Amino acid sequence: MNDTLDWTDRVLELRVGAVAHGGHCVARHDGRVVFVRHALPGERVRAVVDEDGGGAFCRADAVAVLEASPDRVSAPCSWARAGGCGGCDLQHVAPPAQRAWKAQVLAEQLLRLAGVRRGVEVEELPGGPLGWRTRVRFTVDGAGRPGFHPHRSHDVVPVEHCPIADPRVDALGVGRARWRGAASVDVAAPAEGDPLVVAAPAGVRPPRLAGGASVAVRDAPGQGDLRRVHGRTWVSERVLVDGVPRSFRVTGAGFWQVHPGAPQALLDAVLAAAEPRPGERALDLYSGVGLFAAGLAARVGPAGAVVAVESDRRAAADARRSLHDLPQVRFAPGKVADVLPGLVASGEGADVVVLDPPRSGAGRGVVEAVAGLAPRVVVYVACDPAALARDVATARAHGYRLTSLRAFDAFPMTHHVECVATLEPVV
Q: Which of 251, 261, 259 is nearest to 226 (CA)?
A: 251
Whether residues 291 and 223 share a domain: the answer is no
Number of structural domains, the chain? Answer: 3
Whether residues 323 and 399 share a domain: the answer is yes
* Residue 373 counted as domain residue: yes
Q: Which residue among 25, 85, 383, 419 is the active-site one?
A: 383
Whether residues 403 and 265 share a domain: the answer is yes
pLDDT of residue 222: 65
Single residue among 51, 72, 93 that ends a domain in this structure = 72
Cβ-in-10-Å burial (0-12, 13-18, 19+) of 183 comes to middle
* Residue 151 counted as domain residue: yes
DSSP state of 175: G
The pLDDT tens digits for 31-90 are 999 999 999 999 999 999 999 988 899 999 999 999 999 999 999 999 999 999 999 999
Residue 347's pLDDT band, with cuts at 50, 70 and 90, is confident
Note if 85 is an active site residue. no
- Helix %, strand %, coil % for the chain, to 5? 20, 30, 45
Mean pLDDT lowest for which of 135-139, 232-236, 343-347, 372-376? 343-347
* Residue 125 counted as domain residue: no
Whether residues 44 and 151 share a domain: the answer is no
Domain hosting residue 25, numbered range: 11-72
Whether residues 336 and 421 share a domain: the answer is yes
Residue 203's pLDDT band, with cuts at 50, 70 and 90, is confident
Q: Which of 261, 249, 351 is nearest to 291 (CA)?
A: 249
Is the pLDDT reported for residue 126 higher than 90?
Answer: yes
Single residue among 31, 57, 72 that ends a domain in this structure = 72
3-state secondary structure of 38: coil
Q: Determine what percent of the chain is predicted with pLDDT higher than 90.
A: 92
Q: Which of 338, 282, 284, 290 is nearest to 309 (CA)?
A: 284
pLDDT of residue 1: 46
- Work out the number of other CB atoms within 10 angstroms of the CB of residue 181: 14
The pLDDT tens digits for 207-266 are 999 888 999 999 877 667 899 999 999 999 999 999 999 999 999 989 999 999 999 999
24-31 mean pLDDT: 97
Whether residues 176 and 215 share a domain: the answer is yes
Whether residues 279 and 351 share a domain: the answer is yes
* Residue 3 counted as domain residue: no
Single residue among 72, 91, 106 that ends a domain in this structure = 72
Question: Does the predicted model carry a pTM greater than 0.75?
Answer: yes
Whether residues 67 and 178 share a domain: the answer is no
- Work out the number of other CB atoms within 10 angstroms of the CB of residue 366: 20
pLDDT of residue 4: 58
CATH number for 347: 3.40.50.150
pLDDT of residue 223: 64
* Residue 219 counted as domain residue: yes
pLDDT of residue 360: 96
CATH number for 20: 2.40.50.140
* Residue 251 counted as domain residue: no
Whether residues 273 and 309 share a domain: the answer is yes
Is the pLDDT reported for residue 2 higher than 60?
Answer: no
* Residue 375 counted as domain residue: yes
* Residue 369 counted as domain residue: yes
Beta strands in 53-118 (DSSP E): 57-67
Q: Determine what percent of the chain is predicted with pLDDT higher than 70.
A: 98
Whether residues 351 and 287 share a domain: the answer is yes
Whether residues 417 and 279 share a domain: the answer is yes
Q: Which of 419, 425, 416 is nearest to 395 (CA)?
A: 425
Whether residues 32 and 160 share a domain: the answer is no
Query: Which residues lie below 8 Å from residue 186, measured CB to CB, with a gap of 6+?
Result: 135, 136, 137, 138, 197, 198, 199, 252, 253
